[in-house]
Amino acid sequence: MKFGTKAIHAGVEPDPTTGAIMTPIYQTSTYVQRSPGDHKGYEYSRTHNPTRTQLQNALAALENGKHGLCFASGMAAIDAVVKMLSPGDEVISTNDLYGGSYRIFTKIFQNYGIKFHFISMADINNIENYVNENTKLLWVETPTNPLLNIIDIKGAAAIARKHNLKLVVDNTFATPYLQLPLDLGADIVMHSLTKYMGGHSDVVMGALIVKDDELHEKLAFIQNASGGTPGPQDCFLLLRGLKTLHLRMQRHCENGRAIAQYLKNHPKVEKVFWPGFEDHHNHAIAKNQMRDFGGMISFVLKGDKMEDAIQTLERFKFFALAESLGGVESLCGHPASMTHASIPREERMKGGLSDSLIRLSVGVEDIEDLIADLEQAIG
């Protein structure tokens, strides 16, 4: 199946009882058994739920994986991955990543004896400088949040195989419509489904997708034992969102390209972060591993003053000032005080995230209205 057909049909079957074409919301906590241990594949909804099963199958199909696992949030999905490690293990991650990921790594798991290295992966060979006998995991975001850096997934996978490491790719910004990390050699794909996959800013959820049976067994045990699973209503909403993923992503990309070009030519804009520009450091890699360049854009105004950025954010009308991204509506944000506030300023600045950076999640509205909004907000 091509991607659009897969988004609508793959992994989902009509309800066997009624023939309902949309997966029902199985709003139940438990299931009747014929005899102790003799059931129809479902015994308790923390472990399995039919609505969640269909969603997990659909996600696995979209990522060209074998197994999908859904969690109550993207953070719960990250939590499950790191719980496979032991005290003394080390993780290598990028120095530009979502603030919540940095927070759970440094404020929670570091307290349990797991060490994290946050490094530039613009040159993938830099990873080798930090690999040692304790390294167990590579954690990659690409494009990164919020500076839209591109990391070579195939190159990272080669390093992971060489040193017997697991490679996790946070595919939230790209979605499987734009890139397929498992096909490029990743072991685990992670999503905040809250964002583009759901697409309507009405559900919070996370996911992990894998090909390997043993890895799935380990993660499924943690999913059930730790209990960070989503409810059936949220799973239903996610299934609905997936069916238009390809249509929405096409429009996000079209609008993103137009706005990136507009900002690049604006006399008051100092720099635009978007991997579609030929002068982007890893544009060639982005072009090779992605179908298109997405709807996430960050920029800095000339003068690089925080007060100018704040005033611009306050003037937007169609770009709503809010956390999150990936919905049909356009959003704007100030990473330094919002999504990345948990990262110490000196760490942010070392990675290039200044106090005046503005991040845009470009929605699917008419592009003329979005550009007019930028024009009046920037001045």
Same domain, 228 and 284: no
Q: Which of 240, 266, 283 is the last residue of a domain?
A: 240
User: What confidence tens digit (pLDDT) does each residue in 24-66 have?
Assistant: 999 999 999 999 999 999 999 999 999 999 999 999 999 999 9
- Shared domain check, 68 and 49: yes
In a shared domain, residues 252 and 236: no
Could you tell me if 225 and 279 lie in one domain? no
Domain count, the chain: 2
Query: Last residue of some domain: 192, 218, 240?
Result: 240
**Are 107 and 221 in the same domain?**
yes
What's residue 122's pLDDT?
A: 94
Do 196 and 313 share a domain, yes or no?
no
Domain region containing 113 = 3-240
Instruction: Say whether both 233 and 250 belong to one domain.
Output: no
| pLDDT beneath 50: ranges in the chain | none
Q: Which CATH number is 361's domain given?
A: 3.90.1150.10
357 and 371 share a domain?
yes
- Distance, in Å, from the CA atom of 276 to the CA atom of 280, rounded to the nearest integer, reads 7
What pLDDT does 348 receive? 83
pLDDT at position 353: 85
Instruction: Indicate whether 335 and 292 sit together in one domain.
Output: yes
What's the burial of 54, exposed, middle or buried (CB within 10 Å: 0-12/13-18/19+)? buried
- DSSP labels, 260-312: HHHHHT-TTEEEEE-TTSTTSTTHHHHHHH-SS--SEEEEEETT--HHHHHHH
Secondary structure class of 247 (helix, strand, coil): helix
Looking at residue 342, what is its pLDDT? Answer: 82
Whether this model's pTM surpasses 0.75: yes
CA-based nearest residue to 359, from 98, 127, 125: 98
62: domain CATH number is 3.40.640.10
* Residues 199 and 249 grouped into a single domain: no
pLDDT of residue 373: 98
Q: Crossing angle of helices 232-242/50-62, nearest 10°? A: 30
- Whether 91 and 188 map to the same domain: the answer is yes
Q: Are 252 and 365 in contact (CB under 8 A)?
A: no
Residues 67-126 pLDDT 10s: 999 999 999 999 999 999 999 999 999 999 999 999 999 999 999 999 999 999 999 999
Catalytic positions, written as ranges: 46, 98, 170, 195
